[in-house]
Structure 1
Amino acid sequence: MTAGRTQDDPAHQGFVDDFAGSDLDLSVWVPAYLPQWSSRAASAATYAVHDSCLHLIIPAEQGLWCPDDHDPLRVSAVQSGVFSGPVGSRVGQQPLREGAVVREAQPALWGWTPRFGRLEMRARMELTSRSMAAWWLVGLEDRPDRCGELCVAEVFGESVTDAGAAVGMGVHPFRDPRLVDDFAAPRVPVDVSEFHTYSVDWTPDGASFAVDGTVFRTVDVVPDYPMQSMVAVFDFPDRAVPGDREQAAHVPALVVDRIGVVRG
């Protein structure tokens, strides 16, 4: 594995993690989901690294994320950077709601934060109609306008059929005035429970999104600043089907074989 350590380190452009060790490299990855709005402990991922893969899962005993400030949500995620202001400030990536304030200040980490390149993740997903898995890139919001998102792959289990799945891909501007919302979920004829390669070719002139090398979407206006990766599996308890024991017993999972840069 080659890992970047600072925002300007050229290793960001050559980073690949194949999870060959027995745990995450914590100089690159934060095993928690947007901890500034909660805490490292309360937002901690349930995960393991073995068989050269990162296994993110949501077991039955895993609690809710921000239960007093968000719709019912359980999540196991890792992110390749984090930035926040002090407790009580509104500085931090992807606030859970307008006016959200930092509950636990985070030491800044620019673990892997590339600016442009061909990036890819080889992964498989185990989902039901109440779960979702995704990989997206976001600005660290070290400046308020550096907040845009490039979503490479977002799959809701309810979209999965024998013929494939809807894979969300594109741009969300949030508060970046340069960007426009350009997002869609084309149907892709793949079995997401098997390993596939999800990628984005991100340049100053736009981005193209592909699955197993086939391009399904392109966008013309993209973020132009360093971005961290968010890799996550979600469970939505309020989508549970009463009496469906199989769904209730299911453990959502996102298994990542490798993630990183194919071309800088």
Structure 2
Amino acid sequence: MQDDFRGGPRADLWVPHYLPHWTTPDRSAARFDAVDDGLRLRIDADQPDWRPEDAPLRVSNLQTGTWSGAVGTSRGTHRHREDGLVVRTEAPTRLLWAPSSGRVDVTVSASRDPGCMLAAWLVGTEHEDARAAGEVCIFEIDADAIGDESTARSGVKAHGDPGLTTDMAEVRLALDAGEPHTWTAIWGDGETVIGCEGVVVRRIAQAPAYPLFLLVDLFEIGGPQGSYPKSAVIHSVRGWDRR
């Protein structure tokens, strides 16, 4: 799969909502616009919180598919917390890109705006098995961690997968993450390798072995501050499926 976001995200590849089954469409919908060098994800001043229970937390996200159980159940992709995630909007099974092993390159410019975090995750779809819930966290970059040198969080999260152990670490980058840089994740055969600009930053002796969706998302964590819109840019995404 490949997308350079000319004219917007590909409709056959992306769902422009953040985990829409756990909330309502008005709250999960991404704010974005096409720019010369990609897609600008935005947090707008009038954007609602993702869920009222999580306020203040706003997000604009693209993901490569959806799945959930019926309204009122707790069955759905990325049950990343234990305190009351219940399906509010049933999501169809859409496996637009969901490899069990492979490689993905994500080129982004992270947000420098106060309170923001840009992230890219591969998360278990869970559509076949609730235990298929692990995550490859390619990066989480906080705005206040960006400078001539930057830091990010990266690794594997087990969530509901008993076969994985959470292994996250802060990585130091000899670059300005607010400028365009390419992150790479390669996973399969019991190993996950994560790199930035061709340099390996994590090598982990475990990997999810079931279908994963890719999510790329801009969060505003905490109450309103600074000027709006807040933004980050996705320049391109390329993926290879090794199934």
Q: Which residue of 2 aligns with 1:132?
A: 117
In the alignment, structure 1 residue 177 sits paired with structure 2 residue 173? no
> Do 1:232 and 1:254's aligned partners in 2 also have CA atoms closer than 8 Å?
no
> Do 1:76 and 1:233's aligned partners in 2 also have CA atoms closer than 8 Å?
yes
Query: TM-score normalized by structure 2?
Result: 0.93
Greater mean deviation of Cα atoms: 247-256 or 187-196: 247-256
Counterpart pick for 1:53 among 14, 17, 38 = 38
Q: Which residue of 1 aligns with 2:48?
A: 63
Q: Secondary structure at 2:95's aligned position in 1? A: coil
Counterpart pick for 1:74 among 38, 42, 58 = 58
Query: What per-residue deviation string (whole Å, max 9, x for no partner) do you get for residues 24-54 of structure 1?
Result: 2222211111110112222100012342512
In the alignment, structure 1 residue 24 sits paired with structure 2 residue 2? no
Shift in alpha-carbon separation, 1:209–1:129, aligned structure 2, 3 A: same
**Unaligned runs of at least 5 residues, structure 2:** none
User: Could you tell me how far apart the structure 2 residues matched to 1:61 and 1:71 are?
Assistant: 14
Query: TM-score normalized by structure 1?
Result: 0.85
User: Could you tell me how far apart the structure 1 residues matched to 2:94 and 2:2 are?
Assistant: 17
In the alignment, structure 1 residue 225 sits paired with structure 2 residue 202? no
How is 1:81-160 mapped onto 2 (pairs within 5 angstroms)? 81-95=65-79, 97-98=81-82, 99-142=84-127, 143-160=129-146
What is the CA distance between 1:105 and its match in structure 2?
0.3
User: Could you tell me how far apart the structure 1 residues matched to 2:43 and 2:55 are?
Assistant: 17
Amino acid across the alignment from 1:255: V
User: Could you tell me how far apart the structure 2 residues matched to 1:263 and 1:137 are?
Assistant: 13
What is the CA distance between 1:205 and its match in structure 2?
2.6
Q: Secondary structure at 2:216's aligned position in 1? A: strand
Task: Tell me which protein shows more strand as a share of its residues.
Answer: 2
Q: Secondary structure at 2:192's aligned position in 1? A: strand
> Do 1:137 and 1:151's aligned partners in 2 also have CA atoms closer than 8 Å?
yes
Shift in alpha-carbon separation, 1:149–1:61, aligned structure 2, 3 A: same
Counterpart pick for 1:202 among 184, 187, 206 = 187
Computing the radius of gyration over CA atoms, which structure comes out larger, 1 or 2? 1
Number of equivalent positions: 240
